[in-house]
Chain A
């Protein structure tokens, strides 16, 4: 049986339906991500699990016990907020110890536990600092430590890294995953950043307009999106209709939309014969724009009225195609993912 079971969760605010009969299951020790654009209901679902909002209908079970009608104090979940929500009047030590003190734990035990956690999140030496004396990354570590010190059954994280700059965010993603595995905590992580979701999750639930539209392991979702929405949200997929493809290359495909990843398209100069050995079709166009994104070059190729995104590895021996150059893009047939 799954550790966390959410069945038919339904919630609306006045006339707006925020959660439309959402069901999902999370295994013990698993890190799952609720991924979606803002307003898709992911944070509301998290707040319902924490008890900060109540469901209109549906059930939430943790370890077989129905918790959807319990107040937040009795749910034994930990939560990390986007804004950290550290208590400004308390030191790092007291922030972390707050939950334990409220639960009337023995003083010595509190000190031992808090110090252990402070070590784990690398905040030794900062015990007596106040939140305003810490950097954003350090504040987030305190928030994390405060949430896990009382060993909650599940840890909920509401876009915890979105306010941090890219480098610190990447470091914390790795660290978070490390801590999660080390302590074997069940985590539900909310984010709108697909890259972050890919990096840290065991499984991803993609949400749109109050519904889970796709779920699976990160690699599954990335290579086989099941809808136009997931394809455009999860990566910068090219989404073309069968008429677009037919117009560009005379290739006749089944009626519907197709998703093509930018990195599977190969580029050749127009006057060169296509040398790809993979079965597929060529599309003629010209380079509109090229941007270097670190390890890849992103080309925008315009062919008739269709704009194609193509990613190439940014390696020195590969020539750069200048803007305006006529070019041929080779699209492998088997990489055209049928979306229906």
Chain B
């Protein structure tokens, strides 16, 4: 009983530690005044109203979503196939590949941004200052997460053995990949995607340095309005959290639906 109490207490404290800042931010975002009292002296949703009616905010949100989805989509499409081929058929290249994908961890955002601007401001590919350079940088930025997640999933399910079993049963390599390997690594892809998405959605340094005010993302918008009013920026932060929450939930649902669909197809 005493032990259970201690466990409960530990969890409660960690919960409080994690939730308190969010709760305080939320309270601040709906308060009229909060200076020398324990709780706010009045409540209002006017900050949210102001935020949601600001066309700059809606546009920034749309831009953020757009570049995150494009970068993530490109990453999923290319990385699943690449990691699959390397893990199963070119294991000798694995070390080399692993070293390359870990580079974004080692290079600070500012350094990466300056290098990218320098490289892409003159031929053959001139994309400096456009949204495409951000998408390219984001693609690289999430490589480590995507690579690790997909590789671990492939190893967990022993993809090599599953491919062999399917091939001996008469399936072509593509059929075996689509019907056997892919459905089993969806949960892994999903987790990596969620993680990558949250990282990209909250990314500021690369976006700010590569395109800055020319292509205002949600983080750049947040930064520019942070100085104006504490209540207002709290409302932006909470909205940002809620959006991440909704998107994560949607992606999880989508993943489960994809798996269920696969199962139903097999039964019929």
Report which A residues bind B (CB closer than 8 A).
50-52, 71-73, 75, 77-79, 81, 83, 85-91, 94, 98-99, 102-103, 146, 150
- B169 pairs with A150, CB closer than 8 A: yes
Find chain A residues with CB under 8 A from B165 CB: 79, 81, 85-87, 146
Find chain A residues with CB under 8 A from B162 CB: 85, 87
- A52 pairs with B168, CB closer than 8 A: yes
Given contacts A87-B180, A89-B180, contact A77 B168 (CB under 8 A): yes
Closest to A98 in B: B169
A329 to B263, CA, bound (A): 66
A selection of 13 A-B contacts at a CB cut-off of 8 Å is: A52-B164, A72-B168, A79-B168, A81-B164, A83-B161, A85-B158, A89-B180, A89-B183, A89-B263, A90-B263, A94-B266, A98-B166, A102-B169
A177 to B170, CA, bound (A): 25
A221 to B134, CA, bound (A): 71
Find chain A residues with CB under 8 A from B175 CB: 102
Closest A-B pairs by Cβ, 10 of them: A99-B169, A85-B165, A89-B183, A94-B266, A85-B161, A79-B168, A72-B167, A102-B170, A102-B171, A72-B168
**Other-chain contact of B170, A50, A73, A88, A89 (Cβ < 8 Å):** A73
Interface of A is mostly: loop
Residue B172 CB within 8 A of the other chain: yes
- B169 pairs with A94, CB closer than 8 A: no
Return B229 CB to nearest CB of chain A, in Å.
Answer: 51
Residue B248 CB within 8 A of the other chain: no
- B266 pairs with A90, CB closer than 8 A: yes
Residue B128 CB within 8 A of the other chain: no
Return B213 CB to nearest CB of chain A, in Å.
Answer: 47
Max chain A C-beta neighbours (<10 A), residue from B161, B167, B184: B167
Residue B254 CB within 8 A of the other chain: no
Return B195 CB to nearest CB of chain A, in Å.
Answer: 23
A50 to B164, CA, bound (A): 10
Residue B107 CB within 8 A of the other chain: no
- B259 pairs with A150, CB closer than 8 A: no
- B170 pairs with A150, CB closer than 8 A: yes
- A85 pairs with B164, CB closer than 8 A: yes
- B262 pairs with A89, CB closer than 8 A: yes
Given contacts A94-B266, A102-B171, contact A88 B184 (CB under 8 A): yes
Given contacts A94-B266, A94-B267, A102-B175, contact A88 B157 (CB under 8 A): yes
- B158 pairs with A91, CB closer than 8 A: no
Closest to A90 in B: B266
Return B171 CB to nearest CB of chain A, in Å.
Answer: 5
Closest to A87 in B: B180
Categorize the interface residue count of chain B. Answer: 20 to 34
Find chain A residues with CB under 8 A from B183 CB: 89
A94 to B169, CA, bound (A): 13
A94 to B263, CA, bound (A): 9
A99 to B168, CA, bound (A): 9
Given contacts A81-B164, A85-B164, contact A99 B170 (CB under 8 A): yes
Return A322 CB to nearest CB of chain B, in Å.
Answer: 51
Find chain A residues with CB under 8 A from B166 CB: 87, 98, 102
A51 to B171, CA, bound (A): 13
Mark out the residues of chain B between 235 and 268 whose CB falls within 8 Å of any chain A CB in the assembled complex. 259, 262-263, 266-267
A94 to B164, CA, bound (A): 17
A98 to B168, CA, bound (A): 11
A98 to B262, CA, bound (A): 13
- A73 pairs with B167, CB closer than 8 A: yes
Given contacts A87-B180, A98-B171, list 19 more A-B pairs with CB under 8 A: A52-B167, A72-B167, A72-B168, A73-B172, A78-B168, A79-B165, A85-B164, A87-B165, A87-B184, A88-B184, A89-B180, A89-B259, A89-B262, A91-B263, A91-B266, A94-B266, A99-B170, A146-B165, A150-B170
A150 to B175, CA, bound (A): 18
A72 to B170, CA, bound (A): 7
Return B163 CB to nearest CB of chain A, in Å.
Answer: 9
A25 to B184, CA, bound (A): 39
Closest to A143 in B: B165
A85 to B158, CA, bound (A): 8
Return A90 CB to nearest CB of chain B, in Å.
Answer: 6
Mark out the residues of chain B between 149 and 202 whose CB falls within 8 Å of any chain A CB in the assembled complex. 157-158, 161-162, 164-172, 175, 179-180, 183-184
Return A113 CB to nearest CB of chain B, in Å.
Answer: 14
Max chain B C-beta neighbours (<10 A), residue from A75, A89, A102: A89
Given contacts A88-B157, A89-B180, A89-B262, contact A51 B168 (CB under 8 A): yes
Find chain B residues with CB under 8 A from A83 CB: 158, 161
Closest to A107 in B: B268
A190 to B259, CA, bound (A): 36
A91 to B267, CA, bound (A): 8
Find chain A residues with CB under 8 A from B184 CB: 87-89
Closest to B164 in A: A52
Closest to A88 in B: B184
A99 to B175, CA, bound (A): 11
A75 to B169, CA, bound (A): 10
Return A253 CB to nearest CB of chain B, in Å.
Answer: 51
